[in-house]
Amino acid sequence: MAVLLGLVLLGILVFARGSLWAAGMVGKTLYVVVVVFAIALTLLLAIERIEGMGEY
């Protein structure tokens, strides 16, 4: 589920960048929020994977 959300966020970042950036301050704010959320999600997934490496 988290991977799917990450792919959706990546799609927003790649394909909607121009239209969000051109939308003014609200679009720029929304773009930055999506970027921060995507980074946090990536770090969370990486930490979960690292923590689970020793469990069998």
Q: What pLDDT, in 10s, does the model give residues 4-52?
A: 777 788 888 788 777 777 778 888 888 888 888 888 888 888 888 888 7
Q: What is d(CA 10, CA 53) in angstroms, rounded to the nearest whole number?
A: 26
User: Using N-to-C axis directions, what is the helix angle for 25-51 and 2-15, rounded to 10°?
Assistant: 150
Q: In terms of C-beta density within 10 A (0-12 exposed, 13-18 middle, 19 or more buried), how is residue 36 classed?
A: exposed
Q: In terms of C-beta density within 10 A (0-12 exposed, 13-18 middle, 19 or more buried), how is residue 19 classed?
A: exposed
Instruction: Write down the pLDDT at residue 27.
Output: 82
pLDDT above 70: residue 54: no
CA 22 to chain centre: 20
- Between 10 and 53, residue with greater pLDDT: 10
